[in-house]
Amino acid sequence: MEIIDIVYIEGDGIGPFVMEAAMKVWNAAVGYVYNGSKKINWIEAYAGKKSLEKNGSLLPDETLKKLKEVKVGIKGPLETPVGSGYRSLNVALRQKLDLYACIRPVKYIPGIKAPVKSPENVDIVIFRENTEDVYAGIEWEENSKEAIEVIEFLNEKFKINLHNASIGIKPISEFRTKRLMKMAIDYAVKNNRKKITIVHKGNIMKYTEGNFRKWCYEIAEEHKDLIDKNSIEINDVIADNMFQQLLLKPEKYDILVTPNLNGDYLSDAAAAQVGGIGIVPGGNIGDEIALFEPTHGTAPAIKDPKMANPTSLILSGVMMFEYLEMKEVSSLIENSLKKCIKSGIATKDIMPDNPVSAVKFAAKIIENFN
């Protein structure tokens, strides 16, 4: 029997409830496809509120060590308590493990109520840079010693006149941009995607997002033979126009490559078109390590977390099994989940009139394997 190690982090809020449901589906699918010849060895690691209570740390070194050793992990949503020392645990994990590509496939699932007329036209994959841009977290509060020093420096050195302002720095580099674009090209080739659109605000921010655009085109030119061989079109769209295009002509777009903040906005906006972030998966991938996660948060507004929707996490597992080259498992889970929803079986956010719990939803997905 082949044993496949995967690290998991339960998560906070609804995390343990959606993780329980998702685990049932993943384990059943692996058992169904491989009939005992392969098995997942789940290795628990800790982060967030549960970790703070257990280990006195929101993000222990042991968790990072496990992920670096095992190379593949999946997590539930994490809460970052106020005053914790981290702006976001999710961002901290991405940066500490150099998971530079946030990949979010957005595709409509028939049977889900969506706010647009033709949600079935949305089938895109967003590659969002994960380690730079405003999420790098370089900023100083108004009237702080650091902000005053930066303002004085800008005034004295460059004659830029600012008064009583908070200051943020937006780094975008050639190396980190090009490796993201290269990953998007490789993904397009592997998954038969035919168009890559670079999304930027380079008309205004010429040396950050403008260079993001330039460097993406440069890496495309370096791999021109591969792009031409696979008939991949490369183009670019200004970020604000991209929101309009996504609403009016989503069928014309395939893969979007974006700096961090643009990708954050666009991935949530695209998810809204197909029914919300509760049904869209996500993965954070670097050169050596991959950590998959749902796109939603801990959902404190849900009064009964047993009724939370595990779809985003289950489909993040689908992405994970694809990454592990276990495509039969991925296809089985995805097709069975779609059958469930199409037949009217789902959690409250999808089927408010006749909802099932997360665990019962998982059981129905497993029933559809046969």
Q: How far apart are CA 117 and CA 251, in angstroms?
A: 13
Res 86: pLDDT: 64
- 264's tokens: 């954050």
Q: List pLDDT tens digits, range 90-128.
A: 888 998 999 999 999 999 999 999 999 999 999 999 999
82: confidence class by pLDDT, cuts 50, 70, 90:
low
Question: Using only C-alpha atoms, what is the Rg of the chain?
Answer: 21
Regarding the domain with residue range 1-100+277-369, which homologous superfamily does it belong to in the CATH classification? Answer: Isopropylmalate Dehydrogenase (3.40.718.10)
Note if 264 is an active site residue.
yes
Mean pLDDT computed over every residue of the chain: 94
AA identity, residue 22: A
329: confidence class by pLDDT, cuts 50, 70, 90:
very high
Cβ atoms < 10 Å from Cβ of 56: 8
Q: List pLDDT tens digits, range 214-246.
A: 999 999 999 999 999 999 999 999 999 999 999
pTM here is 0.94
- 16's tokens: 């343990």
Identify the residue with better confidence: 55 or 23: 23
Name the catalytic one among 12, 133, 254, 264.
Answer: 264
Residue 309, annotated ligand binder? Answer: yes
Q: List pLDDT tens digits, range 21-36.
A: 999 999 999 999 999 9
Name the catalytic one among 86, 135, 187, 253.
Answer: 135
Q: How many CA atoms lie within 13 A of 302 on its CB side?
A: 22
Q: 87 in the Ramachandran plot: left (φ > 0), alpha (ψ -120 to 50) or beta?
A: alpha
As to burial, measured by CB atoms within 10 angstroms (0-12 exposed, 13-18 middle, 19+ buried), residue 160 is exposed
CATH 3.40.718.10 residue spans of the chain: 1-100+277-369, 114-133+171-274
Residue 104, annotated ligand binder? Answer: yes
CATH topology of domain 114-133+171-274: Isopropylmalate Dehydrogenase (3.40.718)
Residue 94, annotated ligand binder? Answer: yes
Note if 98 is an active site residue.
no
Residue 90, annotated ligand binder? Answer: yes
Note if 135 is an active site residue.
yes
Q: How far apart are CA 211 and CA 181, in angstroms?
A: 13
Name the catalytic one among 49, 170, 201, 364.
Answer: 201
Name the catalytic one among 61, 186, 240, 304.
Answer: 240
